[in-house]
Chains A and B, each alone.
Chain A
Amino acid sequence: MSAVIEIEGLRKTFRSVRRGHRVAVNGFDMLVEAGQVHGFLGPNGSGKTTTLRALLGLVGPDGGRMNVLGEPAPERLARVAGRVGAIVESPQFFGNFTGRRTLRLLAVAGGVPIVRVDEVLEQVGLRERGDDRVKGYSLGMKQRLAVASALLKEPELLILDEPANGLDPAGIREMRDLVRSLAASGVTVLISSHILAEIQLICDHVTIVSHGRRVAAGPVREVLAGFDRHECRVRVAEPDRAAELLRGVGMSVTVHEGLLAVGGVAEPELITRTLGEQGLWVGELTPIRPDLESVFLELTGTTPHPALPRQVDGSALPGEESDDPVIDLDVAGDRGVDA
């Protein structure tokens, strides 16, 4: 597959007289291939939006190399701008214009047929509100308008920064369906979001960033597999005795409120066989699969602690808080965990 977005060693530091230097992106790499629905995850302040802004020519990088649809960005972005639809963080529009006029002006500026305006208003569910002033729109409606503006060009590459911001549950579902249908029609989609369950549902690939550096990348299932500790939750009548039996065959077991958490289980049937042979019948046996949220929290060191409010910049790189390696899945070639 051809690379639609390539970023290598991107660096960006914001300098301000009052606040000094702040490193936003620090040697970040990313690869998005044609046809992917690629999730871009990271805690607040980790450099997601800066990366997207740099990619779209809104922020000047201090170093690194970027390509969009085969053209170096931002130098030759103009050559492919007509094929890239994008919204970048809290989209803002001129409040006194109607949604329709906002889109119309963009369509005229970009040489897009005006008929597209009504099509995208319909597509994002703003058909009936297109003639309202934008200042009367809710956050979710502004978000829909932003997505509509990105869709106007019928892009090959769609970059959506927090597209679900402010959307109600139905809106989130509609957005998910929209992205899926776009992906099905061949559009490559890069989505930055905090709604991890949503990303897990929509995306086939993911890149996770922390402190401006990539900490994981690859197909979603492979990233998750890298964190699968082969644990099972077991409910059984005599938990203490069962724990002893399972430890006896080399499994690690912890008992909590009558439930067993059994680790190191290559084949869950071994649990039922071991316990069954001793007359203990398993009431529940559930493999514990990692989800994107737990992986994300672990990788970025942002797992909440009840007594310790986390600060915005309080994320971490893998290895800073634990000995976990940086997960670096080679998305182009071998799809394995590279410690």
Chain B
Amino acid sequence: MNLVRAEVERLAARRFAQLMLVLLALAFVITAATTVVGSHQPSARELAAAQAQVAQAISGMEAEFQRCLAVKSGQLPLDESVYLPRDCSELDPVLQERLPVIADYLPGVFVFAQQAEPLTLLLIAFLVLFGFLVGASYIGADLNSGGVVNLLLWRPGRLTVLGTKLGTLLGVVVVLSALSTVAYLGAFWLIGQTAGLPGQLDGVFWRELATGYGRGMVLVLLASALGFGIATLGRHTSAALGVFAGYAVVWELGARIVFEILDVARLEQLMLSTYVGAWLTGRVEFFDERICPGGEGLCSGSYTITGGPALAVLLALTGAVTVAAFATFRRRDLI
């Protein structure tokens, strides 16, 4: 327990962590301020106009659906200039994932229900960056400055010390993420209430937001552990930064170009970014004509990566790096 206390204090005292927190607060303030400036509460007239536009849009969709049915049943002639799907249910308003809502017709009005998801994604992206960089710097600087050696003179259990450091990092990241999320979403909810619209905040909304946030938090923790693990393996913060930059440039950009030249099928499956996206959104679908070598036929040319396999890949990678980091640190000569 003492070691955890000392590590929490040590992490909190790190200037890099403090700087990242300031940046998070700054990004938050700028986003909130620009939102407040660019939003207003709609007048009754604006709301009525938007309501009318919604009704008009829905009736237009219904008309399109009825026209399609009429053409299919031969009651109306075929008009080549108008899109006609193979199956009219594609146009059925009842079967649409999402129908127009008032917020779609209120320009300059911040609607919390609509913006919460992208705002959460922005926060998650920052927290991923925070976790990776702080994780790498926390252990990297300690290894480099002799802090770990000093600590081992007091607590000569290498795995205990490294494990405590990783646990402390993940714990602090979770607490910090929770606090910043409450502050962040709370502030935007307030903006929605006072300078915009709250939107439809029903159970479905909160459930979806919580699911997305939960997925994002898993990613934040994985990124933190990955930064920590790579810096431990490389004995320096810059090792993690170098691996990240090297991977992005050499693999995600360079190898992608090479694979495209070589006509490699399903190349997205080879990219880590695919699994990050698939985990965050639950499912990503790609179209690649190279997976249908014999012509179209029944092959749709699409392939899908879902959240489960994506999480498995991310867990395997982070797990492998973390285990390697612990194994290496246990045997390493600290000279």
A-to-B contact residues, CB < 8 Å: 14, 50, 53, 56-60, 74, 77-78, 81, 84, 86, 88, 91-97, 101, 104-106, 108-111, 149-150, 153
Within 8 A of A (CB), among B1-58: 2-3, 5-7, 9-10, 13-15
Give 1 or 0 for each of B138-152: 1 = CB within 8 Å of chain A CB.
000110011101111
Decide: A81 near B6, CB < 8 A? Known: A94-B147, A97-B13, A101-B13: no
Interface of B is mostly: helix
A136 to chain B minimum Cβ distance, whole angstroms, is 15
Known: A59-B333, A93-B150. 19 other contacts (CB 8 A): A53-B333, A56-B153, A57-B158, A58-B153, A58-B333, A58-B334, A78-B155, A88-B153, A91-B146, A91-B150, A92-B146, A92-B150, A93-B146, A95-B145, A96-B15, A104-B9, A109-B3, A109-B5, A109-B155
CB < 8 Å neighbour of B6 from A74, A84, A109: A109
CB-CB under 8 A from B142, the residues of chain A are 94
Counting from the closest, the 4 A-B pairs by CB-CB distance are: A92-B146, A109-B6, A108-B6, A58-B334
CB-CB under 8 A from A153, the residues of chain B are 154
B-to-A contact residues, CB < 8 Å: 2-3, 5-7, 9-10, 13-15, 141-142, 145-147, 149-158, 331, 333-335
CB-CB under 8 A from A108, the residues of chain B are 2, 5-6, 9
Question: Which chain B residue lies CB-closest to A56?
Answer: B153
CB-CB under 8 A from B157, the residues of chain A are 78
B153 touches A60 (CB 8 A): no
A57 touches B156 (CB 8 A): yes
The distance in angstroms between the C-alpha atoms of A53 and B335, with both chains bound, is 8
B151 touches A106 (CB 8 A): yes
Question: Which chain A residue lies CB-closest to B334?
Answer: A58
B250 to chain A minimum Cβ distance, whole angstroms, is 23
Question: Which chain A residue lies CB-closest to B153?
Answer: A86
The distance in angstroms between the C-alpha atoms of A230 and B138, with both chains bound, is 61
Decide: A105 near B145, CB < 8 A? Known: A56-B153, A59-B334: no
The distance in angstroms between the C-alpha atoms of A111 and B150, with both chains bound, is 15
The distance in angstroms between the C-alpha atoms of A153 and B155, with both chains bound, is 12
Question: Which chain B residue lies CB-closest to A84?
Answer: B153
The distance in angstroms between the C-alpha atoms of A74 and B13, with both chains bound, is 31
A122 to chain B minimum Cβ distance, whole angstroms, is 21
The distance in angstroms between the C-alpha atoms of A134 and B3, with both chains bound, is 22
Question: Which chain B residue lies CB-closest to A81?
Answer: B156
B149 touches A58 (CB 8 A): yes
Question: Which chain B residue lies CB-closest to A150?
Answer: B153
The distance in angstroms between the C-alpha atoms of A108 and B7, with both chains bound, is 9
